Chains A and B, each alone.
Chain A
Amino acid sequence: MDTATTTELGWLPHFCLAGYLLFLLGIGLWGFSKRKAGEEDYYLAGRGQGWMVSSLTIMATFFSSAAMLGAPGMVYKEGVVFALFALNVPLSGAMIYVLGNRIRKIGQTHGHITPADLVCSHYGSPVALRCLVALIGFLYAVPYVVIQIQAGGIISSQLFGGEHAFEIGACLLSLVTMLYIMIGGMRSVAWTDALQGTLLMGGMLLAGAAAVAALGGPSAFFEKVGELPRTSLSVPGTTGSFTPEKLFTLCIFGALGSMIQPAQWMRFYAAKSAKALRRSAVIFALGLTACFLFGVMLVGLGGQVLYPVAKPSADGAFEYQVQADGQAVAVSEAKLPERLAEGGKPLPHPDVGEGPRDFDQIMVVVLKRHLPELLGPAGLLLATLVIIAIMAAAMSTADSNLHALSAVLTRDIYSGILRPGASEKSRLWVGRGVIAAATLLALGMVFVSRSSESFNPIGMIMPMSLLAIAFSSQLLPVTFDVLFLKRGSRQGAIAGIVAGMLVVLMFSPLLTIVTGSDSAAVSLFARLKQIADIGFCGVVVNVAVFTLLSVIGKRTRS
């Protein structure tokens, strides 16, 4: 197949995208018309969400551009091993009921709105713990919003081309999302999420079907996949990053960390009943995993066939393109681990992108080029719809996180600490200001990262998402203690969270910025990262400190 052939999508995406964005703004206005006075209505839609809206908004919040672009990008880069990451989704689904229903019950009884409300009322820590829980919310939400905006830019540059397509797409996604949250609050966010959740589930399955069809149907698809390099079909993958132990910790903490982040926590509060969460759990566990395994993961695998990352050489071995010292060099399969250990980064096929982070573009490239070729005008329409579904995935996660961040900073920091007597009206306006400020901050980070050669903290979508989840995972020990064990102390909770967050920070790009890329600390944490998930490392330290201080505190008191 001639992979260089490009089928232009014409003006159809422009019209569809414009219609979609206007529809979202319409839902924002509808949410505004249904509003009732008060914070509880703005942040939790009056705690009245039924199972249908609950399940769709929880799914849409969970499924971000990391699922639609990042996951197929990782399968395209690493091979079939990353498809197993989908097995974290059923565990996440179970947590919707196991953790979510307890959170909902306590929240409804005591009128909680943010995660810190529940944690702080349990431990009786009005300032320190509240600040820490809010900080975790901030460290989760901001990177997540940043990568959604980046995804908006990627889609736009792939769809429309041109010099400033990335910037226009990123700005448009940010602006529309910011507007409908500010106008309608949780009601608008939940209903737009419901629409976006439906769109993205359909889009994921359609994308998988497109990749299979592009290779001539299921038999031909797997026949060609079977000819891929050995590393693409086995564990630990092309770069050797995904050992079973690492994948295991990644799945556990990916599942748990993403379910106790502020936006999901607030969705548990907003659910009307246990039934809403019970049904949401089953729909989530069964439906979303299927969308992953039979949808986007197949795009990554098909992408390896359509746009090979490794070319067979004369002796039958494969040869990869690796970026080393800013230059692209050909590296044989046998020498790949050595080159990667020296800091080399694998490169995608030139038709997909030119840089190491362009693996994320495989989804849009496959859809844009192959669906119209296969189905003509119908394929054009379907490709446009799936690309809009990717935009939906990015927007639904960005809106939920911006909305949750607004609640966290307003309720936990502004009215919880800075101005305890602030009126409800002023709190709501501060909340809207937070949404605007956070959107601009995230947009600024995307532009700085894109324009700077030396400062690029964002990188590929999936690693950035996993870092954000690692931060939110630091709430796990206190969450389990508050909901089930009830044996920890305030000092233990504070010290545990601080220790866990420090460990996660050591794995973040911050360490490279502070100590330089060739420092001993950076190489030590890079080696640790190869062994286990970042969140897991943080939680191990977190639990140890939490337990130790809780036990010491108990003995001292007795």
Chain B
Amino acid sequence: MVMGPGPGLRLINPEPTAARESLLILGVPVIYAWGLFWYGVQAAVVVSAYLTIWKPSED
């Protein structure tokens, strides 16, 4: 959460004076691509928790 929609965004947010190309990566808005990447990370964390930490024994 800190990296995806949080202060980590400052790492990739283009400067106001930067070239227009810096707003895109592989033709996709860099902010959107950043969101997709962190969605992948979050999904992996939830699936790992489901498989390992959240024990079926609680049923």
- Determine whether the beta carbon of B29 is less than 8 Å from that of A226: yes
8 closest cross-chain pairs (CB), A and B: A248-B6, A90-B42, A244-B9, A274-B58, A84-B5, A285-B46, A233-B23, A87-B4
Q: Which residues of A in the span 115-143 have a Cβ within 8 Å of any Cβ on B?
A: none
- Determine whether the beta carbon of B58 is less than 8 Å from that of A87: no
Q: List 19 A-B contacts (CB under 8 A).
A: A80-B29, A83-B31, A86-B35, A87-B1, A88-B5, A90-B42, A91-B1, A93-B46, A97-B54, A219-B27, A222-B28, A223-B27, A233-B23, A233-B29, A234-B14, A251-B4, A282-B50, A285-B42, A285-B46
Q: Which residues of B in the span 1-59 have a Cβ within 8 Å of any Cβ on A?
A: 1-2, 4-10, 13-14, 16, 20, 23-24, 27-32, 34-36, 38-39, 42-43, 45-47, 49-50, 54, 56, 58-59
Q: Which residues of A in the span 401-419 have a Cβ within 8 Å of any Cβ on B?
A: none
CB neighbours (8 Å) of A88 from chain B are 1, 5
Known contacts A90-B42, A293-B36; A84/B27 CB under 8 A: no
- Determine whether the beta carbon of B47 is less than 8 Å from that of A234: no
- Determine whether the beta carbon of A87 is less than 8 Å from that of B32: no
- Determine whether the beta carbon of B23 is less than 8 Å from that of A85: no
Q: Which residues of A in the span 245-290 have a Cβ within 8 Å of any Cβ on B?
A: 245, 247-248, 250-252, 273-275, 278, 281-282, 285-286, 289-290
- Determine whether the beta carbon of A244 is less than 8 Å from that of B5: yes
CB neighbours (8 Å) of A101 from chain B are 58
- Determine whether the beta carbon of B1 is less than 8 Å from that of A252: yes
Residue of B nearest to A249 (CB): B6
Whole-angstrom CA separation of A83 from B23 in the bound complex:
15
Q: Determine whether A446 belongs to the interface, using a CB cutoff of 8 Å to chain B.
A: no
Q: Which residues of A contact B (CB under 8 A)?
A: 80-81, 83-88, 90-91, 93-94, 97, 101, 219, 222-223, 225-226, 230, 233-235, 244-245, 247-248, 250-252, 273-275, 278, 281-282, 285-286, 289-290, 293, 301
- Determine whether the beta carbon of B56 is less than 8 Å from that of A275: yes
Query: Which secondary structure characterizes the binding site on chain B?
Result: helix
Known contacts A248-B1, A252-B1; A282/B59 CB under 8 A: no
CB neighbours (8 Å) of B28 from chain A are 222
CB neighbours (8 Å) of B38 from chain A are 87
Report A233 CB to chain B, min CB distance, Å: 4
- Determine whether the beta carbon of A235 is less than 8 Å from that of B16: no
Report A215 CB to chain B, min CB distance, Å: 13
Report B50 CB to chain A, min CB distance, Å: 5
- Determine whether the beta carbon of A245 is less than 8 Å from that of B7: yes
Whole-angstrom CA separation of A278 from B58 in the bound complex:
10
- Determine whether the beta carbon of B31 is less than 8 Å from that of A281: no
CB neighbours (8 Å) of A230 from chain B are 14, 16, 20, 23
Report B27 CB to chain A, min CB distance, Å: 5
Whole-angstrom CA separation of A275 from B57 in the bound complex:
9
Report A452 CB to chain B, min CB distance, Å: 36
Q: Name the contact of B39 in the complex, choosing from A90, A233, A247, A251 (C-beta under 8 A).
A: A90
Known contacts A234-B31, A248-B1; A281/B6 CB under 8 A: no
Known contacts A84-B31, A247-B9, A289-B39; A90/B56 CB under 8 A: no
CB neighbours (8 Å) of A290 from chain B are 39
CB neighbours (8 Å) of B2 from chain A are 248
Given contacts A234-B31, A248-B6, A286-B46, 13 further A-B pairs with CB under 8 A are A80-B32, A84-B34, A84-B35, A87-B5, A87-B35, A101-B58, A219-B27, A230-B20, A233-B14, A235-B10, A245-B7, A247-B5, A251-B6
